[in-house]
């Protein structure tokens, strides 16, 4: 990144206040800025940094009115946060500029790799795979037979996609994630041992999905495990066979969804939340961290907490009561003693 403040302001369709000839060559947090850095300000609680930052320029909303003098150049835009995000995508993500096929990678002769794709060293592309244009496969990625990958995807090192799985456009998969491993399916035999049930389905992931590091999404026993459009996963998440995660649902780290559970769209799920199998969860619900969901939830727009989950108000009342249990136990013991004393009299 090497651009003048004036040119950047023009590029983002903004205006600037100050010396537009200064050059910007990096991006930094507002509280960690240095000369030549571009920062942004959107959250009012960080306003004090506007007046002390060493960044050469700061993106701010057009409505921002400073309350003190400042040295940095203000670049005014409609939405500072969105503009800064777009700049990070353009200048901060080197992956989008990679192209070509590196030595020591393997691409089967029946596979099709689109234009401007990148295939890193030691990546393995199996039979009948298709990879869309501008997709980036970092070193040590594995794509099993018949896998279909859309355009503009990024698979970081160590991603493994098992056979027959389908990945849509604009998906990002981080290192160590496994898509399409066998579902946890076993039948109990009369002698107490277990026989594996073949998992012959696949995983279908729609467009604009991002999956964090070391996540696992199991293939269906039959049919498909389905990750819908716009879903976002944190790291270390487990999705079991035949589950479904609805459009634009977000799930924080270490959460787990058991087999055949269907989670609706626009749900927000906290870290370490657990969903039992064969449930149906309605749209627009929010689940606090470490929730234990053992039954279906039919109502929308709910807020849930605890194990087993309760509505937030009931959960807070229960927590308050739980804290009082030692006190209540003492009072009960005292009352029992008084009752015994009265009976004797």
User: How many Cα atoms sit within 13 Å of 33 on the Cβ side?
Assistant: 27
Q: Which of 60, 92, 217, 204 is nearest to 146 (CA)?
A: 204
H-helix or E-strand spanning residue 323: helix 312-323
For residue 97, the tally of other CB atoms under 10 A from its CB is: 10
* 241 belongs to the catalytic site: yes
- The dihedral built from the CA positions of residue 40, 45, 49 and 50, taken in this order, carries a sign that is positive
Active-site residue, from 70, 241, 248, 278: 241
Residues 82 and 85: their CA atoms lie apart, in Å, by 5
CB 33 within 8 A of CB 25: no
Inter-axis angle of helices 312-323 and 325-344, to 10 degrees? Answer: 50
For the record, the structure tokens of 43 come out as 């959250």
Spatial CB neighbours of 197, under 8 Å, sequence gap ≥ 6: 185, 186, 187, 221
Positions marked catalytic: 241
């Amino acid at each position: 990144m090497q651009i003048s403040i004036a040119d950047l302001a023009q590029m983002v369709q903004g205006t600037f206040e100050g010396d537009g000839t200064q050059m910007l060559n990096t991006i930094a947090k507002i509280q960690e800025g240095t000369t030549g850095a571009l920062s942004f300000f959107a959250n009012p609680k960080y306003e004090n940094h506007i007046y002390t930052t060493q960044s050469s320029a700061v993106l701010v909303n057009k409505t921002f009115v400073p309350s003190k003098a400042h040295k940095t150049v203000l670049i005014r835009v409609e939405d500072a946060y969105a503009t800064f995000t777009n700049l990070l995508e353009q200048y901060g993500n080197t992956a989008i500029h990679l192209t070509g096929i590196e030595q020591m990678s393997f691409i089967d002769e029946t596979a099709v790799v689109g234009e401007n794709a990148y295939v890193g060293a030691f990546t393995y592309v199996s039979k009948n795979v298709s990879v869309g244009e501008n997709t980036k496969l970092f070193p040590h990625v594995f794509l099993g037979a018949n896998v279909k990958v859309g355009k503009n995807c990024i698979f970081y090192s160590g991603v493994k996609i098992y056979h027959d799985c389908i990945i849509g456009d604009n998906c990002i998969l981080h290192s160590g994630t496994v898509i399409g491993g066998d579902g946890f399916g076993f039948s109990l035999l009369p002698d107490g041992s277990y026989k594996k049930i073949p998992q012959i389905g696949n995983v279908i992931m729609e467009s604009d999905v991002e999956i964090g590091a070391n996540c696992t999404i199991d293939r269906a026993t039959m049919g498909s495990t389905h990750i819908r459009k716009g879903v976002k996963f944190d790291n270390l998440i487990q999705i079991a066979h035949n589950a479904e995660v609805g459009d634009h649902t977000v799930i924080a780290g270490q959460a787990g969804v058991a087999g055949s559970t269907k989670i609706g769209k626009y749900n927000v799920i906290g870290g370490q939340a657990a969903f039992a199998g064969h449930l149906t969860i309605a749209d627009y619900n929010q689940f606090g961290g470490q929730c234990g969901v053992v039954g279906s939830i039919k109502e929308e727009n709910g807020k849930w907490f605890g194990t087993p989950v309760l509505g937030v108000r009931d959960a807070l009342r229960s927590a308050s009561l739980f804290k009082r249990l030692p006190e209540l136990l003492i009072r009960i013991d005292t009352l029992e003693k008084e009752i015994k004393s009265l009976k004797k009299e």
